[in-house]
Amino acid sequence: MSTQIPSASDLAETDFGPPPAKNYLNEETTIRSWLLTTDHKRIGLLYLFTILIFFAIASFAAAMMRLELLTPAGDLVLSQTYNKLFTIHGVLMVWFFLIPSIPTVLGNFLIPLMIGARDLAFPKLNLASWYIFITAGAFTLYAVFAGGVETGWTFYTPLSTKYTNTHVFAMAMGVFISGFSSILTGLNFIVTIHKMRAPGMKWMRLPLFCWSLYATSIIMVLATPVLAVVTMLLAIERLWGVGIFDPALGGDPVLFQHLFWFYSHPAVYIMILPGFGVISELITCFSRKRIFGYEFIAFASMAIAILGFVVWGHHMFLSSQSVYSGMVFSFLSFVIAVPSAIKVFNWTATLYKGSITFETPMLYALGFIGLFTIGGMTGLFVAALATDVHLHDTYFVVAHFHYIMVGGMVLAFMGGLHYWWPKITGRRYPEPLGQLAALVTFIGFNLTFFPQFILGYLGMPRRYHAYPPEWQVWNVLSTAGASILAVGYMMPLGYLIWSLKKGKRAGENPWEATGLEWQTTSPPPKHNFDVTPIVTEEPYAYPLAASDEHLKAEKGRRALEHA
Amino acid sequence: MPTEIVQPKVYLRTFALLLLLLVLTVGANFINLGPFNVAAALTISIAKAALIILFFMEVRYSKPLVWLFASAGFIWLLLLLIFTETDYQTRGWSAQNWRGGTNGQDHVEFNNPASAKP
Amino acid sequence: MPEAATSRNAPPPAREEQFNDLEQQTEAAHLGMWLFLSTEILFFGGLFGAYTIYRVSYPAAFAAASKDLLMWAGAADTAILLVSSFAMAMAVHAAQTDARRALTVFLLLAAGIGGLFLCLHGYEYYKDFAEHHIPGPSFRYEGGKAPANQVQLFFLLYFLMTGLHSLHVTIGIVILTVLAVQSWRGKFSREYYNPVEIAGLYWHFVDIVWVFLFPLLYLIARR
């Protein structure tokens, strides 16, 4: 028996034979068969295509902002245009890229495969949610191209209801409608995970990706309706001038913030929990080692989903919210750091004594751990009442949440996309280019956002298109970083498309990974499995065991064999 | 999904109880209970909702999972109400609030220490 | 029994291809409906939240405004919805016992009584309209006992909450009518009546919302 633990890179060079004659991609090829499909895998790809368009538009807005901030004077765009740019960037990135990103693309594609089901519980509903998403996108893009909105993605009243004359209504409707898409997706996932698991797939054998999406779905189902209500109230007040949030008419603008953040803070966890799930899969696969503390990671996801609902007030420390309420929210915000830290510790413990290889997905995953840790720790700065007075609405906050959203979720999305790309398309992407892109992304990201921590600490406020000249150095660095980051994003776009036709055949399981999704062909057949699989073991039965005894035994065995 | 077929007499009794509670809630409105008028009205409403959920919606005869799903929405609604109301109830404790007084003078000083200096 | 005969003639129950058996399909639909209802609770919940804040802030104005609503109409609304809910529960029982004709009748009854609710509520809206109680530029409040702005907030919440509720009632009536037609055509049997059951859950939920709306909107002020 070989002492060499099979590593993924050994298999990277192998070109496997042709894919199965019939799979979900070539079973039917008409446009109609794509637009009316109820196959979860195809719907996942429809989402992928759609959110990439939104990502491109939102990135363009970000690029314009970084260009404007190259010089201290507001010389490239007018201040109002700048306001519209960051609103477009925020709204599209939050509701049309980050929230749907991993759940609707990888979640749709993988959940039935991972639990051994033929499809989600409600395939038609799944397709309907994509069409709802498209409708929402149409409203939002109309608002963008008809002249934009200048309120920021938070739509704070009374600016949004009374003082701005931009297309708030259309954009709020876009957000309102997109919420229903999100609710239906979450509902579908929860029911699927409860009811569609293959025989033997007990809860404690569920892949951690599914656990994290289960937690995400809880938030989607229970928080999103409140967003729907609050955007509806906003639209009604704007149209009829009735004063539900207007102090002049007896209303309270802070109530808008309460209802808005009751959704939008948990939504932050919609934007990171799925990332946790992806990273858990990647870390264990590329360490060839069973995940450390499976139960802790699973329950930490649930804890985050629930605790995430009771911290929203930390966005409102300076909004005339009661200080006492602020103390409670501040305390709970510190509490929620615990389950997040549990996950980071478990991932690093999984790496410990693992047989680590550095393929592209693993590079993204390691980047994620570092950047998420920085993003999470700086979150505590702004969750503390006193320091938040100094840091609120500065670039410190911008840097903090970009470390979570981009450094966390986007890296996890890219890592996951690369990891499951062979399963999705049946082809491999070019590994060296992938590794290079991951590295470029990591460098570009840090150069973009680390200077913003310093700018924020120095007091540079968000949402201004001009600033005093002494801050120019940091802003130039940040803009330079953004252009490197753009290269990091462009590269995968190029080689992934190239790989669709020219990539090497992947075979069923190119990473030698565990998990049901790797036991079917690549690309999978229309109904995923020819025979319903029966699950008989834990999800991460990699060669290296997690416990010390196993490690010692393994070492002893290897020493014997060596001798 | 209920595990047994519920008999019509159960539905009939539930329905009779619901009508009785409706009469009670209207009746309580004519009696002065001070602050307990609200409490009485809400208690009766909760009782009515519980009857509908347990018997008409057959949760009483369903698996534990359905109990969990049926209660989740209400628990989350309580979170929303409690945490929002906590803010409104404690605002007056320190700074003057938005509903009157000095119009948030304290907050201006809190935000911008420079403005407090003479 | 004629009901038993219809059961034998009924088409085999429809299992969708992603499910292994009908039981799995039924349980999935059931859970899905409960999740949808929890979403609905939070959807109305946002409005209940706004209501709580403003009622606690402006107790006098809310009490004064509430007196302008027709309490007896509100009580009748409640009774009507309770009767309709009872009919719905009986419809589910009829489905479980294969009583096809009874199922059709009870479904139509539940939908029809729901229609009655809409009529009565329409009358209340008409009265509010005539008294200029619709929030907006034409809003007028002459009671003088409370600031008009605060009274307008009450009426805004009243119209939003009852309006959203009436929208749900309307959707429910459409669903129940469709089910009644399907039942008449013999689509349901003891083995397959899942749509009736989950439509029932929805219909009872609409009832529950009203059970809370009635005291919160109509019964603030002691009469």
Determine the pLDDT at residue C12: 56
Each residue of C106-143: pLDDT tens digit? 999 999 999 999 999 999 999 999 988 988 888 888 76
C163 interface with A at CB cutoff 8 Å: no
pLDDT for the residue numbered B33: 83
* C-interface mutation test, from A43, A118, A187, most C Cβ less than 10 A away: A187
Residues in contact with A483: Cβ distance below 8 Å, sequence separation at least 6, in sequence order: A66, A444
pLDDT digits (tens, 9 = 90+) for C186-198: 999 888 899 999 9
Neighbours of chain B (3+ CB pairs under 8 A): A, C
Contact B5 C208 (CB under 8 A): no
Decide if B86 and A322 are in contact by the 8 Å CB cutoff: yes
Measured between alpha carbons, how far is A144 from A139 in angstroms, rounded to an integer?
9
pLDDT value at residue B109: 31
Q: What's the pLDDT at A555?
A: 60
Q: What is the pLDDT of residue A182?
A: 97
ipTM: 0.91
Q: Cβ–Cβ contacts within 10 Å for residue A165, how many?
A: 7
What's the CA angle centered on C97, arms C94 and C102, to 5 degrees? 30
Among chain A residues, the shortest Cα distance to C151 is held by A250
Close Cβ partners of A28 (under 8 Å, ≥ 6 residues apart): none
Domains of chain C: 23-218 (1.20.120.80)
Structure token digits, residue C119: 């009529």
Task: Find the residue in A nearest to B75 (Cα).
Answer: A222
Q: From CA A241, how far away is CA A157, in angstroms rounded?
A: 12
Q: Which one of C28, C43, C152 has the shortest CB-CB distance to A228?
A: C43
Check CB contact under 8 Å for A318 and B91.
Answer: no
Burial class (CB in 10 A: 0-12, 13-18, 19+), B23: exposed
Q: How far is A176 from chain C (nearest CA, A)?
A: 12
Mean pLDDT check: name the lowest of A370-374, C2-6, C95-99: C2-6
pLDDT at A6: 44
pLDDT above 70: residue C10: no
Contact B56 C79 (CB under 8 A): no
Angle, helices C59-66 vs C22-57, to 10°: value is: 110
User: At which residue do the structure tokens 């491999």 appear?
Assistant: A428
> Residue A313 is nearest to which of B65, B87, B93, comparing CB atoms?
B87
For the stretch B48-96, pLDDT in tens is 999 999 999 999 999 999 999 999 999 999 999 999 999 998 887 754 4
Q: For the residues of C79-132, what is the DSSP string, one character each?
A: HHHHHHHHHHHHHHHHHHTT-HHHHHHHHHHHHHHHHHHHHHHHHHHHHHHHTT
Which pLDDT band, with edges at 50, 70 and 90, does C11 fall under? Answer: low
CA distances from B14 to A323, B24, C109, C111, C199 (A): 47, 15, 18, 20, 19
In chain C, residues with a C-beta closer than 8 Å to the C-beta of A157 are: none
- Confidence (pLDDT) at A440: 97
CB of C134 within 8 Å of any CB in chain A?
no
Q: Which pLDDT value is given to residue A418? A: 97
- Alpha-helix runs per DSSP H in chain C: 2-9, 22-57, 59-66, 71-96, 100-130, 148-184, 194-213
Contact C39 A258 (CB under 8 A): no
Which candidate, A411, A418, A329, places its Cα nearest to that of A374? A411
A222 contacts on B by Cβ (under 8 Å): 72-73, 76
Of B72, B90, B111, Cβ closest to residue A222: B72
pLDDT surpasses 70 at C148 = yes
- Is C96's Cβ below 8 Å from some Cβ in A? no
Sequence-distant (6+) residues with CB within 8 A of A204 are A294, A295, A298, A538
Residue A563: per-residue pLDDT: 57
Domain ranges of chain A: 35-562
Quote the CA–CA distance of A353 and A371 in Å, as a whole number.
Answer: 22
Quick check: C93 and B8 CB within 8 A? yes
CB spacing of A230 vs C46 below 8 angstroms: yes
| Contact with chain B for residue A314, Cβ under 8 A | no
Q: Which CATH class is domain A35-562?
A: mainly alpha
pLDDT one digit per residue (tens) for chain A, 563 residues: 333 444 444 444 555 666 677 889 988 889 999 999 999 999 999 999 999 999 999 999 999 999 999 999 989 999 999 999 999 999 999 999 999 999 999 999 999 999 999 999 999 999 999 999 999 999 999 999 998 999 999 999 889 988 888 899 999 999 999 999 999 999 999 999 999 999 999 999 999 999 999 999 999 999 999 999 999 999 999 988 888 999 888 899 999 999 999 999 999 999 999 999 999 999 999 999 999 999 999 999 999 999 999 999 999 999 989 999 999 999 999 999 999 999 999 999 999 989 999 999 999 999 999 999 999 999 999 999 999 999 999 999 999 999 999 999 999 999 999 999 999 999 999 999 999 999 999 999 999 999 999 999 999 999 999 999 999 999 999 999 999 999 999 999 999 999 999 999 988 899 989 999 999 998 999 999 988 899 988 899 888 754 555 556 656 665 666 65
Q: Work out the angle at residue C64's Cα, subtended by the Cα atoms of residues C59 and C65, and round it to the nearest 5 degrees.
A: 100
Cβ neighbours of B107 in A, within 8 Å: 320
Residues of B in contact with C79 (CB under 8 A): 19, 22
CA distance B2 to chain C (A): 10
Instruction: Say yes or no: A302 contacts chain B, CB-CB below 8 A.
Output: no
